[in-house]
Structure 1
Amino acid sequence: MFFCPVVLFVLALALCSLSSSHPSRFFGTPEPGWAITPAISLLTQKVLAEWGIHGSAVGVVRLTDTGQVETDLGSWGIMSEDGKLVSVDTLFSVGTSSKSFLPAAMAILIDDFARGRNNTPLPSGLDVLTWDTRIRELFPGHSEWALQNPNAQANVTIRDALEQRVGIQSNPLFFGREDKPLDVVIRLRHLVPLGDSRTFTSVSHETFTLAAHIITTLSGIPYTQFAQERIFSPVGMSATTFSGTAATRSGLLSEGWNEHGRRVPHWLPDTAEEVMAGSHGLISSAHDLTKWIAVLLNHGVNPGTNESVLPCSVLVETLGSRHVVLLEPNDYIEEPNLMGWRDTMYFYGYDDDIVSNIIVVNWAAESYGSVPGARTHIVLSPSDKLGVVILMNGHMIPGTPTIIHKIIEDLLYLPSNASRLGMSNIVAETPIPQPLSWTHIAQEDAIDLVDSTSLDVTDKVPEDNSPPEQRLMTINTQTETSWYSLHAGKLSVPLEQFAGQYASPAFGTLTLCALNSSSDECAAVLRDFAACGELKEHMPALYAAWPGVFVSHLRWEHIGNNAWSVVPLTLYPDGFGRDRTPFTDSTEGEQVAECVVREDHVLGCGLWDAGQPGPNATVADAWFTKFA
């Protein structure tokens, strides 16, 4: 990525009175297939085949200069092991694309208070609700709202929460299957801050649970009900829901498969629907999502009923002005965390009709969502009054941008960005990702942690003093067994002393089991690991069940001295679907742990996110105290 001589400008979008910056390219009533052409259909089928995806649905929406909504929909493949075909009404989990709905709900709530339509009063001393209302004002005292960073606790606003500027990093182990939104909000006080809340932006699913809890508190009804009544119903999204049970009963919910073709269950249990609704929980179809896109492109008004669904403020706040740095032609920038959307600016060469030597910017708001068994990608181009959504019943498929951006390029008559998108080979030469193992963690972080003196760790035996770069090279070129036997510093106490029960106020309780642990709980855990072929007998390792939303089990693999790679896994010892053979579904978010040992006793272990160490990497993200 090469920057031109520094050229800065502000891309201001007056979204409440939006008009296209280009002459209209859309004339008359299009024939079916105006967007999803035979070429696009062929491309989609090839991507599905290359990545082993069973089914997909695509929706395209554009708004003409006269306000007419034009929609094109397509579907491919199957949605079930029985061979039922995907349709445009097939339901998929949309993952973190759920985040784009919560700011809309918040805007409606703020508008209700402004117009005197609120059902509950504001807390004493607070006269108005705005995007810049401080969260501490909504929860007086510290019974619900508190953070370790006193500045963040005092000053974080609703806007900050939705832009994920609270100074905390999301951790895949944080959410439990039995959690309620209030549980998560209360536990936020135990999370270690990563940086200044107003400048350090990070992916934080927890802040969307917080925002949903605010809507629940101030509306008097659960966020899921509020979204259903105030967004889904007036938009006409009749099949959209947060309930996996309801979606299954409808007969429209697609089954899901992992990257190895194994069928996986609907990822979210009923008990966790409310806690994950704001960040991950939405279930919708291509048909329903095109209706949502049409409302966004039409300034918050349902073009079918002419009913105002969203106040103008939600469009200004979520899709408003942005600072853009111009790049070389065919390059692009992504800016995350814009209230549930991601800014993407595409650059397609020079346009003498505008200003000589100024690069044309095609700005879009993007939303990605991925959960086990489902993948979503939504793109809005407000200045072109165009939106595209693609849904797939597979997890983490890189091919979605290939399809979605090709549709946009064709409709806007843009030069192909195929070289950046990898479309020339249509991902044919890219191998299907393999499950992560301990050798695939962020090894520099692990090595830095082993070598650090951030914790007072008592080492009773000589440690490996080879240079970190040599040790990293060895990790990358040797097998697990040979690397471990040659380079891992030994544990300072026997492995069995690390087994036992631990507790963290932020994450809950953890029972680590060694191979010789004899409790009933450990016997069940080890039995599941053994059934799935996940026991590591060639190196010291500990095993645990973890009742999380994103992970079912953890394996702690020794990487040197008293440090561990914490590998999250979801085990299926009885298989799933028609194939009842055991298998493992790998999960993103490997952690690094270092334990403190004093006088031959394990006091506890600190946990770091290996992929996102943050500014305060010497401070553990979580501390687990050993109590048994």
Structure 2
Amino acid sequence: MALTAALFGLLALPLLTLTYPHILPQVSFLGGNPNLNGGQVISPKLSEFIEETLSAWNISGLSVAIVRKDGEPELRSWGKRTEEGDRVAPDTLFHMASVSKAFCASALGILIDDFAYGRNVTALPPGLSELTWTTKIKDILPGEWELMDEWASEKANVYDILSHVSGLPRHDFSYGPYDTPRDALVRLRYLRPAFELREKWSYNNQMFMVGAHIITKYSAKPYTTFVSERIFSPLDMSSTTFSPGKAERSGKLTQGWTRLGRRLPEWFNEEIAELKAGPGGVISSAVDMSKWMAMWLNQGTRKNETVVPLSVYKAVTASYSVSTSKPTDPEHSIVGYGMGWFRHSYLGHDVIYHSGAIPGFSTLVSFLPDDNVGVVVFANGGDRAAPVTNISNHILDEVLHLRGSEAIPNLLLEERGSSESTAAKSSVSADDAKTALEDYAGTYANPGYGAFTLCSPSSTSFYCTQVNSDFATVDAQAGSSTATPQLLAQWPRVWASHIRMEPERVEGHTFRVGFTSLFPNGYGIDSTPFETAEVGTSEATVEFVVEEGKVIGFGLFGLVGEVTERERIHTRVQDKAEVWFDRI
């Protein structure tokens, strides 16, 4: 199964689309009727639609900002931010997830501008005379930067890594909670590419860790400090932070929930705040993000003061690569990607945007430079890209007068009764599986991904006894205890805590894999066990290789979402796999 383009991460997908009847002539936001709804975009009818959407999709709370180029934003909120019932407010803090990428690209652009005008505080490496978007990464990070593909390692520049055309797919399970951005950078040399450099758009969070590392190295201060001083402070984003601890102490941070309403702990906690700062670490509110949006609508300025230089504004918003090569419907164009921003046309309106997702949060920000309006939508529920996008689209329809006066339909309905368990459904009999599983149990390692130990049902070590017990507890609570034995492992990573492997068939050594997070003691008020995994990112396949009667390792497939050239031309699993793990 493919790991489709959605993590979390730092999820960053083109806007989901809907077809609406009775499209009206397009009218600029500034040309609308200011007396309609008392000058407010959120009418009682639209508010009712939002409330129905939250109920249908099991979203606890939502915060919205509608931003004018000039003038005060319209701020609205719905629902609760805590288990105790505290309400979401416009100043409630949410994790931005991949919406943070535009901050990273902008900060790197500010640093480039500093070097261009002699405001830099550090020197460039010997032989490098300038820092630009086309500067090669090998020149700016000598001795640190190296990719497995020699040509990509030699030629990749700043544009390439921040536009997702480095050739590397999502290797998001390769980094753990105690890694630093430099750790992730150095490990890139061990991660297999899916494409050649600039061949194809392929989303990759690690490259924004590299971007943050460049800023830290050449600004002589932590990336988070640089962004706070050069972006947050000039925009008076006084509540915005990279620190979950600081956000929690403010009393404004919302809790997050799974798609089935289970409260989650802080996912991007203080331990990984530095690692995830570049690709997804900003924590902010609708109030503060409305200032960020207004700055973009004013091409990088606030109160006639430049925050993001115009050259940076133009560079990061201009599409450098194509993320979606053909329209998904008549209302939308193809989708381009700049640096931290997607760009497409919606019914003829130019839209620049980015979405984000981590467990417990779904976010979307967009601005329309020709229509002088921006929209911010934050939900404290995970895997909620569809309703968040639906709400944002309806707001744009209202702002741009693209809809008639008929009742707003709720076109997206939740698939109720879906389970969060990632337990695989296998047709292999329990007796056959038990016979084979012992051969596969053991420890496996990859230099880019690290090592973990797979346990069979009969494994008796202290570690395996605990692992099997935790899975049994969660499965029993979910009523999904499978009759087919599985290979199980603890594997603490940013995006998962455990792994399930279940055989697809007796012969062939192929297993379905689920990357999941277990909570055998529950969390929050509810102490019943549960597990959760991000939709579209939790399943893959592995194929074990047996030589002379012994398992020597396995290949992991499904990270890319399609058959790669590597997989097409090679025959050995060791060569064609997206990740190869040796048995040790």
User: TM-score, length-normalised on structure 1?
Assistant: 0.81
- Return the match for 1:317 from 315, 318, 322: 315
- Residues 1:411 and 2:381 are matched in the alignment: no
Q: Where does residue 624 of structure 1 map in the other structure?
A: 581
Would the alpha carbon gap of residues 227 and 429 (structure 1) be closer, same or farther in structure 2, given more than 3 Å must change? closer
Would the alpha carbon gap of residues 174 and 364 (structure 1) be closer, same or farther in structure 2, given more than 3 Å must change? same
Would the alpha carbon gap of residues 620 and 41 (structure 1) be closer, same or farther in structure 2, given more than 3 Å must change? same
Q: Where does residue 80 of structure 1 map in the other structure?
A: 82
C-alpha contact (below 8 Å) 2:29/2:400 kept by paired residues: no
- Is the partner of 2:100 in helix, strand or coil? helix
Structure with the larger RCO, 1 or 2 (CA within 8 Å, 6+ apart): 2
C-alpha contact (below 8 Å) 2:319/2:336 kept by paired residues: no
- Return the alpha-carbon distance in structure 2 between the equivalents of residues 388 and 81 of structure 1: 27
Q: Where does residue 548 of structure 1 map in the other structure?
A: 493
- Return the match for 1:123 from 122, 125, 147: 125
Q: Where does residue 449 of structure 2 map in the other structure?
A: 507
Pairwise CA distance, 1:95: 1.1
- Return the alpha-carbon distance in structure 2 between the equivalents of residues 109 and 156 of structure 1: 19
Pairwise CA distance, 1:199: 2.0
- Return the alpha-carbon distance in structure 1 between the equivalents of residues 34 and 410 of structure 2: 35
1:130-149 aligned at under 5 Å gives the runs 130-140=132-142, 143-149=143-149
C-alpha contact (below 8 Å) 1:61/1:388 kept by paired residues: yes
Pairwise CA distance, 1:108: 0.4
- Is the partner of 1:427 in helix, strand or coil? coil
- Return the match for 1:424 from 398, 401, 409: 409
- Return the alpha-carbon distance in structure 2 between the equivalents of residues 366 and 47 of structure 1: 22
- Residues 1:579 and 2:526 are matched in the alignment: yes
Runs of 5+ consecutive residues of structure 1 not aligned to the other structure: 1-19, 348-360, 440-479
- Return the alpha-carbon distance in structure 2 between the equivalents of residues 294 and 625 of structure 1: 51
User: TM-score, length-normalised on structure 2?
Assistant: 0.87
Residue deviations 1:226-252, cap 9 Å, x none? 111111111111111111111111111
Amino acid in the other structure paired with 2:578: D
Residue deviations 1:535-563, cap 9 Å, x none? 86522411111110110110011113211
Pairwise CA distance, 1:611: 5.8
Would the alpha carbon gap of residues 603 and 193 (structure 1) be closer, same or farther in structure 2, given more than 3 Å must change? same
Pairwise CA distance, 1:427: 2.2
- Return the alpha-carbon distance in structure 1 between the equivalents of residues 325 and 445 of structure 2: 47
Q: Which has the larger radius of gyration?
A: 1
Would the alpha carbon gap of residues 336 and 275 (structure 1) be closer, same or farther in structure 2, given more than 3 Å must change? farther
Q: Where does residue 55 of structure 1 map in the other structure?
A: 61
Amino acid in the other structure paired with 2:353: E
Runs of 5+ consecutive residues of structure 2 not aligned to the other structure: 1-25, 568-575
Q: Where does residue 180 of structure 1 map in the other structure?
A: 180
Q: Where does residue 509 of structure 2 map in the other structure?
A: 562
- Is the partner of 1:69 in helix, strand or coil? coil
Residue deviations 1:85-110, cap 9 Å, x none? 11000001111111121111011000
How many residues are paired up? 541
Give the stretch that moved more between structures: 532-541 or 284-293. 532-541
- Is the partner of 1:236 in helix, strand or coil? coil
- Return the alpha-carbon distance in structure 1 between the equivalents of residues 245 and 542 of structure 2: 37
- Residues 1:531 and 2:473 are matched in the alignment: yes
C-alpha contact (below 8 Å) 2:256/2:265 kept by paired residues: yes
1:370-389 aligned at under 5 Å gives the runs 370-389=357-376
Give the stretch that moved more between structures: 564-573 or 428-437. 428-437
Pairwise CA distance, 1:377: 1.0
- Return the match for 1:368 from 348, 352, 355: 355
- Residues 1:592 and 2:541 are matched in the alignment: yes
Residue deviations 1:488-539, cap 9 Å, x none? 9x77983212111111100001111111111111122112111111786522
Q: Where does residue 110 of structure 1 map in the other structure?
A: 112
Q: Where does residue 5 of structure 2 map in the other structure?
A: none
- Return the alpha-carbon distance in structure 2 between the equivalents of residues 585 and 314 of structure 1: 39
1:82-231 aligned at under 5 Å gives the runs 82-140=84-142, 143-231=143-231
Pairwise CA distance, 1:269: 2.6
Would the alpha carbon gap of residues 32 and 376 (structure 1) be closer, same or farther in structure 2, given more than 3 Å must change? farther
Amino acid in the other structure paired with 1:520: F
Percentage of matched positions with identical amino acids: 36
- Residues 1:519 and 2:461 are matched in the alignment: yes
Pairwise CA distance, 1:182: 0.7
Would the alpha carbon gap of residues 417 and 78 (structure 1) be closer, same or farther in structure 2, given more than 3 Å must change? same
- Return the alpha-carbon distance in structure 1 between the equivalents of residues 336 and 434 of structure 2: 43
Pairwise CA distance, 1:620: 1.3
Amino acid in the other structure paired with 1:555: R
Pairwise CA distance, 1:213: 0.9
- Return the alpha-carbon distance in structure 1 between the equivalents of residues 329 and 243 of structure 2: 44
Q: Where does residue 247 of structure 1 map in the other structure?
A: 247
- Is the partner of 1:177 in helix, strand or coil? coil
Q: CA RMSD in A?
A: 2.7
- Return the alpha-carbon distance in structure 2 between the equivalents of residues 245 and 328 of structure 1: 41
- Return the alpha-carbon distance in structure 1 between the equivalents of residues 326 and 550 of structure 2: 57
Amino acid in the other structure paired with 1:425: N
Pairwise CA distance, 1:609: 2.0
Amino acid in the other structure paired with 2:155: N
Would the alpha carbon gap of residues 30 and 537 (structure 1) be closer, same or farther in structure 2, given more than 3 Å must change? closer
- Return the match for 2:428 from 471, 481, 484: 484
- Return the alpha-carbon distance in structure 1 between the equivalents of residues 29 and 146 of structure 2: 51
Would the alpha carbon gap of residues 573 and 226 (structure 1) be closer, same or farther in structure 2, given more than 3 Å must change? same
C-alpha contact (below 8 Å) 2:325/2:335 kept by paired residues: no
C-alpha contact (below 8 Å) 2:37/2:43 kept by paired residues: no
Amino acid in the other structure paired with 2:257: W
- Return the alpha-carbon distance in structure 2 between the equivalents of residues 393 and 379 of structure 1: 18
Give the stretch that moved more between structures: 314-323 or 93-102. 314-323
